[in-house]
Structure 1
């Protein structure tokens, strides 16, 4: 089609809300017989920007979605799809991190207390989320859905590299009861086989170290740390100050030096499951 840039790989709409937006945009545009250049002209955007959005390489804006609805006579369909990409129903303090997480090419997560959200089973996540004071059943279901949705990044064609370090105490703290914990640790063993996931454990024998101060995640984009999420009470926060990120990166390296190597960590996980099976 004249005025059409390279479409690149096929987008899987199940990959993420942004992938669904890109997939549907391309489908509706092609159904209307419009090139990317023509849609760009109708919306006031360049054809290259339309192409990048259809490839999920650029995040759409609400204005872009509104203009696409108008150009393609879609009666608000693209705006509704856009809303799903913004995590509007997520807690306000956590939305910036969710957007960072979707852009990252690597995530480095230290957790001294709980299994990280990206690796939680549904039952484990429900038990954790239910402890928040004043949470209604409807709010609990919504937050659980959001947490499970985050994990979709591991199903992408090019998922981020996820490096996780947990304290051994995480494996023994009974969250949700014995069966929930057994299922959770077995899932950690399973997900550790994913080519983009590395799990390490800091053993009980380790003495005082800098990770005891709290959990955090450092996000990288093409090898460059650019944002971090720091756990705190009543809730954490997203930071992008270079000095803070550098300090957290140094702490992560120090914690990893205390952790068991990957294969030994997986063997420890297997021992924990075997102990729970007795």
Structure 2
């Protein structure tokens, strides 16, 4: 007999899918082996989905609905948990999906304005400076980045808590006009009721936390995945120990950050003194 593993549906979207799948399987009085035979998948695949260790296919979800006699319940949940990502590079798709379904995102950006808060001109210049990209690839990536911002226009946008190093305000990405527009956009977004922007001053000494950009995705107060940026592609991480370490580093950096009202004042001063 397969050992029953408790799943907390509030832990993550994937855990919620696992919990609902198991609930309907048990309600149908089917074992994992019986369900696997009916949908044409292995018993181990069903077991791994039910323990939140494996991402199923959309067809898996549709077949489960057929077996359980449901009207698309599992398929709709699948679409919520794994929505189609915006047009982004393959290595970034997993994180782009997490951005769409997270209820909160904590961002730390020591070198550039984070992608979710970039203007089109700023993003285009960033991609123009990436070696090897064609004009078509640049435009595709700009489009994908702008589509990612759509989460802030939803009726239920995630909370965005963004830490930006003071040096980001002074780095001349694209020149004065691009930087002025970008910083003014940050000020605009800081007025959004779900967005907090804080600047980490040059004097900050939380040295271990200052190294490298990362983003933390939360679901109902629970941090469940992290995107860590490094050359050349970055990585999406779900290991609980690593996530805890990164949260601790984020908190150390935030402890040295200016509060939002002082951060906005600093951004305004930089715009007037350097980019006007």
TM-score using structure 2 length: 0.72
Are the aligned partners of 1:165 and 1:256 in contact in 2 as well (CA < 8 Å)? yes
What SS is found at the alignment partner of 1:164? strand
Residues 193-234 of structure 1, C-alpha deviation per residue, up to 9 Å, x if partnerless?
A: 000000000112224522331110010000000000001001
Deviation at 1:48, TM superposition (A): 5.8
- Which runs of 5 or more residues in structure 2 are unaligned? 1-61
Q: Decide whether aligned partners of structure 1 residues 212 and 104 sit closer, same or farther in structure 2, where only a CA change above 3 A counts.
A: same
How many residue pairs get aligned? The number is: 212
What SS is found at the alignment partner of 2:163? strand
Partner in structure 2 of residue 105 of structure 1: 103
Deviation at 1:192, TM superposition (A): 0.3
Runs of 4+ in 1 over 3 A off after TM superposition: 50-54, 56-60
Partner in structure 2 of residue 47 of structure 1: 71
Partner in structure 2 of residue 254 of structure 1: 252
Are the aligned partners of 2:104 and 2:217 in contact in 1 as well (CA < 8 Å)? yes
1:263 maps to 2:261: yes
Partner in structure 2 of residue 187 of structure 1: 185
Q: RMSD across aligned C-alpha pairs, in angstroms?
A: 2.1
Residues 79-103 of structure 1, C-alpha deviation per residue, up to 9 Å, x if partnerless?
A: xxxxxx244x522211111111111
Are the aligned partners of 1:230 and 1:236 in contact in 2 as well (CA < 8 Å)? yes
Are the aligned partners of 2:121 and 2:178 in contact in 1 as well (CA < 8 Å)? yes
Partner in structure 1 of residue 237 of structure 2: 239
Are the aligned partners of 1:113 and 1:167 in contact in 2 as well (CA < 8 Å)? yes
Question: Distance between the aligned counterparts of 2:125 and 2:75, measured in 1?
Answer: 42
TM-score using structure 1 length: 0.71
Question: Distance between the aligned counterparts of 1:277 and 1:236, measured in 2?
Answer: 31
Residues 213-262 of structure 1, C-alpha deviation per residue, up to 9 Å, x if partnerless?
A: 11100100000000000010011110000001000001000000010011
